[in-house]
Amino acid sequence: MNRVLRIAGIACATATLPLVGAGLASADPAPTLPSAFVTEVVDGDTVRVVDATRGPITVRLAGADAPELDECWGGPARDFAVAALDKQFVAVIVDPTTGPVDGSGELPAYVVRVDGWNHNVEAARVGAARAATPVSRSGEIRSAEDNARVANLGLWGARCGAPAPAPQPQPQPRPQAAPPQSGVYYENCDDARARNAAPVLRGQPGYRAGLDRDNDGVGCE
């Protein structure tokens, strides 16, 4: 009964809006006509829908691949898909470069909300999916992926193995000259003069090279 009601609901929603073609809607840059209702989000790139003409089918994103649930960012990728698509009317749009249902029983297609929001592209934009098998909109998907890479979003972030920013080196304190073994030490020539010890001759307590710039044996002259 629920299945019948769902299919009927889609049929009513689309009765006055002609779908393109005899089956699913064909590829369109900005589709707005709903052709299916999302009943379940399996993971970040797979949803189950009730289609207006084909009934229940499983749709896999064309040109985009999300991490598996047991892989890094698999859970957040699914959460993103749930928030965007679950229990939504969508257009399921088959790309001209892809075939029909594949060997796994899934239909590769674009999943687009009635407002034109393309999940294949937007999942790549937030790092919830990566560009995959080439399709007619691969350029748009790859551009979205590049933005996510640059911003270290989602599966491109440090949590999933991307290198974290290198720490900035801290400035090292300048080494201070150790006081001579004689026990007499002048921090500088002003210190030596203040203590009436200037000039300081080589061999005298407190003499060091730092006080004798011209190395003539007379410091603080």
Sign of the C-alpha dihedral computed for residues 79, 87, 95 and 27 taken in this order: negative
pLDDT given at position 4? 37
Between 168 and 143, name the one with better pLDDT. Answer: 143
Closest CA to 148 of 94, 62, 81, 73: 73
Find all residues with CB under 8 Å of 142, minimum gap 6, and list them: 124, 131
For the 2-160 domain, the top CATH level (class) is mainly beta
Between 98 and 122, name the one with better pLDDT. Answer: 122
How many Cβ atoms from other residues are within 10 Å of residue 177's Cβ?
Answer: 10
**Domain residue ranges in the chain:** 2-160, 189-219
pTM: 0.62
